[in-house]
Structures are given as C-alpha cells and as structure tokens.
Structure 1
Amino acid sequence: MDLTTRYLGLDLRTPIVASASPLNGHVDSALQVEAAGAAAIVMPSLFEEEIVHEEVELTRALEAGSEHFAEALDYFPDVDDAYMTTTDRYLATLESLAARCEVPVIASLNATSPGGWTWHASLLERAGAAALELNLYHLAADPTLDATAMEHRDLQIVEAVRTAVSIPVAVKLSPHYSAMANFAARVVDAGADGLVLFNRFYQPDLDLESLEVVNRVELSHPGEMRLPLRWMAILRPQLGPDVSLALTTGVHSGTDVVKALMSGADVAMLTSALLRNGASHLRTVESQLVAWLEDHEYESTDQLRGSATTATSGDAAAFERTNYVQVLHSWAAPHHLTPSSPSS
C-alpha cells in the first residue's frame, strides 16, 4: 500500500501529520510522536504576546530601584547571555528537533505586529524549520474595522512573511471570513504555498461562584470535522492541485483520514486524538487507514485523494448549499416521541 504524499513540497511517508500541540513542544515527547508514525510534526505556535510580555517583565525587574540606585544595573552585566527568553527556548527546541527528527518539522507562528511576523519568521527559518505555518488567530471584534480592512491586514501579513523567508509557507485560517472561497484564493495569490483548514477557537466559560472568566480547553470530537471537510471539498477544485491543503479539527481515526483525503486534502492533522489517547494512537490511525484502503481495493492514497470534491460529486450542491430544510426533515424522532395513531 502506497501511503506517500506531498505537502508544501515535502515528501511524506503518509498523509498523517501531528499538528500543533504540547506534545510537539518538547524534544522528548516530539520524538515519541515521530516514532509512533507521524509523517511530519507541527510545533506549537510561537506567540508574540508572550514574547513581549516576558520582555516587559524582565525590563521592569531589572530596573526596579534603579531610579534610587543607578549603579544597581551594573550588577547584571551579562543578563542577556544568562537569560533564556521564550524565543530562545523555542528556537533551541526547533534546532534540536530539526537535527534529530527524520520527518519534517514545521514551525508555527502567531504574531500581532507586522515586524513581529517577519522577524520571527526569519529566525524560525534559520533555526531549521522545514516549513512555516502562519496561525491567523484573531476575532474581528473591533467595530471600526470592516471585513475588507481585516482581510487586507491578513493578506499583508502573508505577503510580508512570504518575502522574508524562502521555506514553504502554509496559512492556518479560521472558518469565519465573510467570503471564504474568495479569501482563500487571495491568500494563495499573496504567496501562501498551502492552507490549513481550520483554526479551532477555544471559547471561555463563566464561573458562577467566582464570577470570573474561566479558560477551558475542550478537546475536539469527530463531529467538528464536518465544517473543514465541506470547505475542503469546495476549495480543492477551485485552488487546483498545486496548492497544498491540510485538514485539521475533528480528525480522530483512520476513516477520518479517508474522508479528509476524499475531500481533497493532501494531509490530515491530529491534535486532540493524540492528547486524549497518547502518541501511540498514530499507529492505530495508520492501521485503520490501510485496512480501509485494502478493503475498498485502493492501491494508494493518491488514487483516493479528491474523489469526493464538488468537481467529482454527483450532487455538488450537497457541499455548496446549506441543505437547511433537508437536514431538518431528515431527523427521525425516537419511538417514544412519535405520535401514536388514534384508536378506532
């Protein structure tokens, strides 16, 4: 069975990729992920906010009391050499993984300023990243910015990073752009080599006792795969075979990988399934994928890929329209809720 695939110009053993997660942020656990069968590893995002916050706190700590004792700063002449910043730690991990992993290591970046995107992208390339995933994670919560302004800002980011690095660049999108098909094509025109569908937003909760906002991490479930699956099937024929496409969110099993490939994805990315079941779950997913392909007499993943897009589906509208009425009518009530016939 030929499982080989190509993503962002990288030759991969299988289409199963370990997407950004805490497992991939430490050398030991990332090597376990590779050993379990990941065809590529995406590191967790390097967030500019964390870098800036750390730098501000360090500066505040070093300058504490200096307005009264200016000579106090002389006691820290080598602090830059001794202090490991968030960026330093990330780059050190990336360098180690790039040197020790046989599979491609993809760095992930989420910045807030134009300079932050390009500067850190260059650092990640020099540290050995095989490719770069730009994580465009934000909410359009500013009422003074319309959709055009928001999209223009994101496109400028893609263009700037594409100019700053020579390695392949994938853009991880949210599903909330007002005209997704149009924006996806413009991201590619701006220089992206591929797209990752989709970013998963983590919603805060409210604690009714403390009356505080609580951050809760809830792992995905397979049902969440339907949204990226639908858009993958729509975008693949529109963007063509030269654009790399990755499907993420809700991928938990080998049959989920099959669905991703059928919809046109080059690779399927897993996070929650590995956090829930451990890195060894990758072996199970690959075995399930192989079993399905053999049972259905496929010889390769390439033979399967794109077989259920809007270009090949007998009912393309099933992907393109909401099917609101049809879905509602398809629901079957449980027996105890079914109205009984009146007695004669």
Structure 2
Amino acid sequence: MKAVYSELHRSHDPQFYLVRGVVKRTTEQPERADRLLAGLKAGNHRVVAPINFGQGPRARVHSPEYLSFLAEAWEAWAALGDSGSEMIPNIHPVRNAGTYPTHIVGRLGWHTTDTSAPIGPGTWAGACAATDIATTAAQLVMDGEDATYALCRPPGHHAYRDIASGFCFMNNSAIAAAHLRLTHERVAILDVDVHHGNGTQGIFYERGDVLTVSIHADPVSYYPFVWGYAHERGAGAGLGANLNIPLPMKTGDDGYMNALETAAKTIRAFAPGALVVALGLDASEHDPLAGLAVTTAGFKRIGAAIARLGLPTVFVQEGGYLSDILGQNLTAVLAGFEEAR
C-alpha cells in the first residue's frame, strides 16, 4: 500500500492545550508523524510525496470566508503588535443572530468552537499540505490503486465547513471523499477515531451522496460532548445517511468489533463506490487521551474487517497520540487490511 507524506507538517507545532482549566503541552505534536512513519517502515510501505492540488479540493468542502481567514490569520494577528505566540480565541459567539466580524480577534472566535486548535505561523502551510496528502491518496485510488494511506497532520475530522476545533483546521477526510465523488456516485466515510467525527458529520449532514459513520467513545462524558449521539441521523436529503455508534468508555476489542459489524452492514446497504477511513488510532488502550481500550491485535482485526468490505479505500490519518506503540498500531491496521484483501 502506498503512503503519502510531506515534511511540511512540521511547520505546525502547537504548544497550547487547555484541559479542565489547566494549560498543558498539546498531544498533537510533530513527533506523532515520526512514530507513524516508523510504523509505515515496519510494514514496508512505499512513501510518496503529495501533488499540489491548490485550493480546488479545499474549496469543495470549506467556505471562501473560512479559507481566507486561515490564509490571512497569522499575518493579521502578528500585526496587532501585542498578541501572543499562538492564536487562541477569547470569544465564541455561537452565531445567534451574529454579524460576521472584520477584526482578526472576532474572526478567530467566529471560526473556532474551542481552544484546542491554536494557530501559529506555520499552521496554514501544514494544513494545506495535509489536504494535498489526502487528495493525492484519493487520486491514487481513482487512478487504480486498491488502497492508499494518507499521513495527514494536522488531523481534520473535527473541522466543519467554516470552523476549526479539536486540533483540526481543514477536514482531510471530507476533502478525500469529495474528491472521490468526482468519479463515484456515492462515497462512504468510516470514522474509527476515539472522538466523534463531528466536523465530517456537519459537512455532509444534509447530503445523501456521502454516508458518514462514526464509532467513538460516548460523548456524554467525552469530547466533543454535544455531537455524536445515536439519534443524529442526518437531515433533509441526508436523512438516514449518518450513523453514530457511541461506545461505553474503555470498550475493548470484542465490543469494538461488534460495533464495526453494525457499521459494515450500513455501509454495504448504502452501496458506495469507494470508502474513506478516518483512521484514528486513539482508541488504543495506551493512548494518552484514554477513551477506549483497543489492543494492537484489535487494530489488526479492524483492518481486516475494513478490507472485507471490498471497496477501494483511502485511509486518512486522524488522531492517535504519543504512546510507545502508536507506530505498531498503524502497522497492525494496514497489515490486517492487506492480509484480508
């Protein structure tokens, strides 16, 4: 399986992370990619560079105002003269009869849902590289590859059409799916991150051509708290094209596989032409965010179950934070997929 990667992710190196009122170093660090690369090397995967697709794939998913904000944000922030080393919002207007602001501090609040997506001088470059990686992986599948892996950093599945949140700025998985839609009438996204893919759900919630399925820790007590419930099924043309499977905290391999079988039945019934897997490895029993308890052997089972869907598949890296077996878990997922294929 070919893997797409760029060193440009290193330009995004966030420091700020607010956890229950305590400021900590974020777990979304450049070292994550190093550990994932080690996992690719262990699996003998060929690493290829992304193609620069420009703004087109991003514009299929994100609004013009949002893309302009992200491109201009750091320069406008630095021009204030008394600003910090990262952009952290101090308002969240939730847009109740709100007017779109012109000041950079107002725009920052408008385009974020939380404080977990700090913007620094290299964030735009890193996020653009991630979208090119996801699009390149999708294009390779469109050109005939059976499956590809996109090592995206920063991740993307918490990013809405015009809102950043949860370490995410542009929705790489949604961008890959939108690109696949150029040749497929229907596409499915299977999100196996420990956190609900709320941004992906929001982007496609009223569309019937992209099925969104998310298996995640119960949002009653876990991020993102206000999205990810089983009753969220889509709306309008998208009614029935969204499936959430929240799991009790610390669910292990067998419980996870039961949920994955439910997801697989829904995907088969939808009959998509291609599949995007939003590959969070943070369901691991050793992940520092500690939501679920999937073992390395369990990740191999997940990969095999995905392979049995029989669809052209793009794996897009989402979460999975600093643990000693992060790379091993990636190796396991991809090996399980390849062996079952």
For Structure 1 versus Structure 2, the TM-score category normalised by the shorter chain is: 0.3 to 0.5
**TM-score normalised per structure 1:** 0.37
Higher gyration radius (CA): 1
Greater share of residues in helix: 1
